[in-house]
């Protein structure tokens, strides 16, 4: 089976990128991405090669053991290759690893396999060679076979004995991690800041940067520590016994070492480690599990770069780097245009991510995100990943600033951005396929036309059948009746119910009609205000034509209505002047005979009401206006004469006072019921 071209392309890009990071890290000592970000790239490469083994050529970074060392340093040959560890990023990967070990060792299912679990300290691996008990050299990992000599740093690293007992093998190599503790790292950076020096980004970079210096005359003391995690040749028959021997010789061993009996134990260890991670004095990026018995280790042996008997169980990296392949625009059900980055797939926190939200134009401009950019992305919880920053040094020369489209990508309608808002919006409403279903659902909902039997699912179905594309189509549904009742899931009864409910909806109350139009920012309370100002179809049509005739900014007269601000006025204008909306609404209105609002004036005459607290969408002023229209006196203080106190959220002392005086306290809903009841009594 040949490799699909897009996979080959992705593989090539990954290889180039990983080689670049290898060079920056190993040769130039200035990594621009974190280790976990590097791991994500590497993990993806390994995944691609496991799916398409023909990609795994000798040129792939997965087949090359490290990179060449720094030229200036003396070289030290390791006694035995210093391997890196295979990573497991999730429980299934760990399970697979454990099972493969058991299988290779041909262990009967009832026989436990003992592991030693340890913290995976986020430091720098260092190998110490002892000859006849005397420290001969200290070196970095280098390419795994040959490291850089850092012996001159040993006096500044705590936890390295200069002599060990003579009865050890003639030549001994002890491996461990050199790191700076969290506390010391903070202190170092504090001193750097004081002296106006550049701060270190991480404790690991500080430790690595320190031992890579040829000159040990450093401005700031750098308290390096060494903790053992390996020895060659073997000095005992198990890893656990070997570490005890090393401790006896004066080495430091971590507090995290623990014997585990099998997969369940390892998983428990990992979960516990995640919980106590912040309390551990040094940075860790996961757990390491090694088979305890050395004879088992020998039996399993090594792959090209990694041992078969040990694995690093990494914490999910919530950050990663990838490339923006494209930026596409999604249109939401309310018409908001959201730019979305199409990413080269990458693992973040154990999940393969191919898309990230870019939010809006401002965000893209602020971060200067371009197609082709290498970017850092971040996942928090289950939220869609975010692009946190562009890695500027990797920007391709051909990358140009992203320009937002002037037309809706779904319906080609005009795109608008209101003053003071960040989002661009398609204003075509029900005419835009991206918004149509939602707009129609809103129109037939209980709060508006109240068409029984037409739920979200049914609206979607009728839209997809082509029966219901615009509001006026509701009244033409009976022409499809014959075909409709024979469709699966439908019948004479259900269709008749809908058709008769549609007939009733012709007499929808005028405020509910206003609400059903789905004008952004116009909720039920504002609809009531608009229904009083434009109380019948003729008034609504006159308004529509007026807004279509006059020049811009002439919607200001709408702001004279209580509860209608400049933003709502603007939305009303945009709605009525959107291309195609006039004929669409004219046709819809031609089927309607709305019920006018009842005259509520004077139903609460002589009564005094007080409002306190805040109400949904800041509708308090509208409620107060309603009360005045009903003839009530709206007062600001609770007295014995108060008829009702209407309470919103977070009411003040007025509530206590009303309770003391025994005045009825109403919620918004109870208030509306009172108003309705009084209207009924009155009419």
Smaller CB separation from Zn ion, 312 or 408:
408
- Give φ, ψ of 145 to 5 degrees: -110, -30
* Distance of alpha carbon 48 from alpha carbon 44, whole angstroms: 6
Nearer to Zn ion, 418 or 499 (CB): 418
Residue whose CB is less far from Zn ion, 349 or 413: 413
Residue 24: CB minimum distance to Zn ion, A: 45
Given the rule CB under 5 A, which residues bind Zn ion?
A: 408, 410-411, 413, 426, 428, 432
- Which pair of structure tokens corresponds to residue 245? 């021997």
Residue of 75, 120, 397, 481 with catalytic role: 120
CB of 56 to Zn ion, least distance (A): 46
Alpha helices in 142-238 (DSSP H): 182-194, 203-211
Report in angstroms how near the CB of residue 384 gets to Zn ion at its nearest. 22
Return the number of the residue (426 or 604) whose C-beta is nearest Zn ion: 426
Q: Which is nearer to Zn ion, 455 or 579 (CB)?
A: 579
Let me know: does 123 contact 288? Beta carbons within 8 Å: no
Beta carbon nearer to Zn ion, 115 or 575: 575
DSSP for 392-403, written as a single string? GGG--TT-----
Question: Least Å distance between CB 418 and Zn ion?
Answer: 16
Q: Taking the CA atoms of the chain, what radius of gyration do you get in angstroms?
A: 36
- 120 carries an active-site annotation: yes
- Between β-strands 146-148 and 171-179, what pairing exists: parallel, antiparallel or unpaired? unpaired
Q: Which is nearer to Zn ion, 428 or 470 (CB)?
A: 428
We find the least distance from the C-beta atom of residue 460 to Zn ion, in angstroms, to be 18
Torsion-angle region of residue 319: left (phi > 0), alpha (psi -120 to 50) or beta?
beta
Whether a cis peptide bond, with omega within 30° of 0, leads into 233 is yes
> 47 CB contacts (<8 Å, ≥6 apart)?
347
Closest approach of Cβ 505 to Zn ion, in Å?
26
Q: CB–CB of 639/674 below 8 Å?
A: no
232 close to 173: Cβ distance less than 8 angstroms: yes
31-36 own/partner pairs: CB under 8 Å, 24+ apart: 31/205, 32/391, 32/393, 32/394, 33/321, 33/376, 33/391, 34/202, 34/319, 35/122, 35/204, 35/285, 36/285, 36/314, 36/317, 36/319, 36/320
Least distance CB 410 / Zn ion (angstroms): 5
555 alpha carbon, distance to own chain's centre: 40
Catalytic residues, by residue number, are 120
């Amino acid at each position: 089976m040949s490799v699909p071209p897009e996979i080959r392309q992705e593989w090539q890009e990954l290889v180039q990128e990983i080689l670049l990071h290898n060079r920056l890290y190993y040769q130039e000592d200035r990594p621009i991405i974190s280790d976990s970000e590097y791991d994500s790239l590497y993990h993806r490469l390994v995944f691609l090669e496991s799916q398409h083994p023909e990609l795994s050529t000798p040129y792939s970074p997965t087949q090359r053991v490290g990179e060449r060392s720094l030229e200036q340093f003396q070289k030290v040959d390791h006694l035995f290759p210093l391997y890196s560890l295979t990573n497991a990023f999730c429980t299934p990967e760990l399970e697979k690893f454990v099972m493969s070990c058991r299988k290779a060792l041909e262990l009967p299912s009832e026989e436990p396999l003992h592991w030693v679990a340890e913290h995976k300290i986020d430091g720098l691996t260092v190998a110490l060679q002892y000859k006849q008990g005397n420290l001969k050299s200290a070196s970095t990992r280098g390419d795994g076979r040959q490291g850089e000599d850092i012996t001159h740093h040993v006096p500044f690293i705590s936890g390295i004995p200069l002599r060990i007992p003579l009865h050890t093998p003639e030549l001994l190599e002890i491996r461990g991690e050199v790191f700076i503790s969290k506390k010391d790292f903070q202190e170092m950076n504090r001193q750097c800041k004081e002296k106006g020096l550049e701060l270190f980004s991480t404790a690991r970079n500080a430790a690595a940067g320190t031992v890579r210096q040829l000159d040990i005359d450093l401005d700031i003391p750098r308290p390096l520590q060494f903790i053992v995690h390996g020895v060659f040749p073997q000095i005992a028959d198990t890893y656990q016994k070997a570490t005890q021997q090393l401790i006896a010789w004066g080495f430091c061993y971590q507090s995290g070492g623990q014997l585990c009996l099998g997969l369940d134990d390892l998983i428990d260890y990992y979960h516990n480690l995640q919980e106590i991670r912040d309390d551990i004095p040094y940075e860790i990026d996961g757990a390491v599990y090694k088979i305890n018995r050395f004879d088992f280790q020998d039996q399993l042996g090594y792959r090209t770069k990694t041992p078969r008997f040990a694995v690093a169980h990494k914490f999910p990296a919530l950050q990663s780097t990838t490339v923006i392949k494209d930026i596409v625009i999604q249109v939401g059900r309310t018409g908001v245009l959201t730019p979305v980055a199409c990413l080269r797939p990458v693992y973040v926190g154990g999940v393969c991510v191919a898309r990230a939200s870019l939010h809006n134009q401002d965000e893209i401009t602020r971060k200067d995100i371009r197609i082709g950019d290498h970017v850092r992305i971040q996942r928090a919880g289950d939220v869609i990943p975010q692009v946190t920053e562009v890695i500027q040094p990797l920007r391709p020369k051909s990358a140009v600033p992203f320009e937002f489209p002037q037309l809706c990508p779904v319906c080609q309608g005009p795109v608008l951005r209101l003053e003071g808002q960040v989002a661009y919006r398609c204003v075509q409403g029900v005419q835009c396929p991206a918004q149509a279903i939602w707009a129609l659902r809103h129109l037939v909902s209980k709060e508006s036309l109240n068409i029984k039997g037409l739920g979200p699912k049914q609206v979607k179905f009728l839209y997809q059948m082509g029966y219901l594309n615009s509001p006026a189509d509701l009244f033409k549904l009976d022409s499809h009746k014959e075909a409709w009742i024979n469709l699966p899931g439908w019948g004479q009864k259900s269709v008749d119910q809908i058709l008769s409910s549609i007939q009733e909806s012709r007499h929808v109350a005028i405020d509910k009609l206003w609400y059903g139009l789905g004008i952004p920012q116009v909720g039920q309370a504002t609809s009531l205000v608009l229904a009083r100002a434009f109380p019948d179809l003729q008034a609504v049509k006159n308004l529509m034509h007026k807004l279509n005739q006059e020049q811009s900014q002439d919607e200001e007269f709408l702001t004279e209505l209580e509860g209608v601000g400049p933003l709502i006025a603007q939305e009303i204008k945009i709605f009525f002047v959107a291309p195609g909306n006039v004929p669409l609404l004219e046709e819809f209105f031609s089927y309607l005979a709305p019920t006018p609002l009842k005259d509520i004036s004077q139903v609460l005459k002589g009564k005094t009401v007080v409002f306190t607290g805040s109400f949904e969408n800041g509708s308090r002023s509208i409620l107060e206006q309603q009360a005045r229209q009903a003839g009530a006196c709206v007062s600001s203080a609770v007295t014995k004469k108060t008829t009702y106190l209407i309470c919103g959220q977070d009411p003040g002392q007025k509530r206590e006072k009303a309770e003391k005086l025994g005045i009825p306290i109403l919620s918004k809903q109870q208030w509306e019921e009172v108003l309705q009841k009084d209207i009924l009594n009155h009419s």
